[in-house]
Structure 1
Amino acid sequence: MAYGAGLVRWLGDPKIGKHLLRDEGEVVVDEVTHHWFAYLRPGFEAAIAMVLLVWSWFVSVQVAWFLIVVASALLVHAAWGALAVLRDHFVITNMRVFRVHGVLSQSLATMPLSRILDISVKKPLHGRLLGFGHFCFESAAQEQGLRDIRYVGRPDERDLAIQRVVQRAGLRGPRVPN
C-alpha cells in the first residue's frame, strides 16, 4: 500500500519548488490541489469500464472482445483524466499566484499580485454543499492562462489567504478603520 501511495505522490508532484524565486524571498503561502469532486468524471468512466469488463464474461466471444476494447479505452481515458486533475496545482506565494498543470507537457501560468484586480468566487449549489468553488481572476490583461481555477476546496479560506497576501504586500493601500 505504501508503494502505491508513493507512486501516486510521485506522479502527481508537478515540482512546484523549481518555479519559486527563492533568491528573491518567494515563499509558498498555499498550494491548492483539486477538490475530490473533480475526480468524479474519471471515477465514473472507470466504473463503467469495470462494468463492461464484468459483462464481457457473460456474453459470447464475438461481443466480449469489443467490450474489452471499449473498457480498456475507457480505463486509459479515466486514468489520463485523473492524472491531469492530480497534476493541476494552483499556488499562492507572497509575490504571485501561479498554476502548474499538464501530464506529459507542463504549462505554467503566472500572475503577479499587483496585476490581480478582482477575484470572483463562484460556488454552485453542489459546491456549497460539498465545500468547493471556482475562482475567476480578472486582471488588466484581456486573456491570461490563469483566469479560471475550478474545483478549489475551501474557496472562502483560499480567497481570504490571497486577499491577506495582497494586503501584506501593500498593493491595496492602507486599511481605513470604520
Structure 2
Amino acid sequence: MAGHSERYGPGVPKELDRYLVPGEDVVFLLRRHWVVLAEPFLTTMFGLLVLAVLSAWVDGGVETALTLVWLLVLSRLLVAAWEWWYELVVATDKRLMLVHGVITRKVDIMPVSKVTDMRYDRSVTGRALGYGKFVMESAGQDQALSTINYIPDSDLHYQQISQLIFDPSAPRLTQKTGGSSRVPVVEPEEAWWRRKD
C-alpha cells in the first residue's frame, strides 16, 4: 500500500487505482476503529504482567516456555495490527468497498444501486468510543459486502452513505475538517434576518 493514487491524490493509497474505475468519486476512505485492536493489546499486556509475576517463582525452563507463549501472543497482536492497517473501507459514488487481507487481497463490494435498506447500529460501547455498524440489505440477493463493523465517526459516514443510497443527486456532505463535520446550508433568499424592512 505504498504511495498515493495518481488519479485521486494524497490520502488515497495507490492500490485503489486498481479497483476504482475512471470517473468514480471517492466519498470517504477509512480504517476501522482502533477498538478492534483493544482485545489483542490487552491480552498481550496481561500476558506480559503474568510472565513478570510468574518468572520470580518458576525455574528457568518454565520461564522460557512462558516467554515463548507470550511471544506467540505478541505476534498475534502484531498480525492484528498489520491486518488493521491494510484494511480499508471505501465509499464511492457508485459502490461501497471493503479491501482486506494481507497475503491475499480481497475486495468485497456492494453497489450503491443494489442497496434497498440499511440499518445503523451503535452499542453502548460504540457510543462511548465513537464507532458504529452498518448492515445493508439488497433486493433478495446475497452480496459480498453486507455488514461493515467498527466504523469510526459513524454518524457522519452514515449520513454520507444514506445520501448516496437515497438521494444521490443532492449536494454531498463535506469531509470532516478540523474535528467537526459540516453540512452544506442553503438559506432562503427571503429569510427574516435578511429582510430590510
Normalised by the length of structure 1, the TM-score is: 0.79
Gaps of 5+ in 1: 1-5, 7-12, 171-178
Distance 2:102 2:158 in 1: 27
Q: Which moved more, 1:96-105 or 1:157-166?
A: 157-166
User: Identity over aligned residues, as a percent?
Assistant: 27
Distance 2:150 2:119 in 1: 14
1:56 CA drift (Å): 6.0
1:44 aligns with 2:55: no
1:16 aligns with 2:9: no
1:123 CA drift (Å): 0.4
Aligned to 1:3: none
Root mean square deviation, CA, Å:
2.1
Distance 1:129 1:35 in 2: 12
Aligned in 2, Cα 1:150/1:51: closer, same or farther, shift over 3 Å? Answer: same
Identify the structure with bigger relative contact order (alpha carbons < 8 Å, sequence gap 6+). 1
1:70 CA drift (Å): 0.5
1:34 aligns with 2:32: yes
Q: Residue deviations 1:34-84, cap 9 Å, x none?
A: 112111012112213422443464231021111011101101111112222
1:32 CA drift (Å): 2.2
1:147 aligns with 2:146: yes
Distance 2:156 2:77 in 1: 30
Aligned to 2:112: 113
Distance 1:21 1:56 in 2: 56
Structure 1 or 2, whichever has the larger Rg, is 2
Gaps of 5+ in 2: 3-12, 171-197
Secondary structure at the aligned position of 2:159 is classed as helix
Aligned in 2, Cα 1:169/1:96: closer, same or farther, shift over 3 Å? Answer: farther
Aligned to 1:100: 99
Aligned to 1:176: none
More helix by proportion, 1 or 2?
Answer: 1
Secondary structure at the aligned position of 1:168 is classed as coil
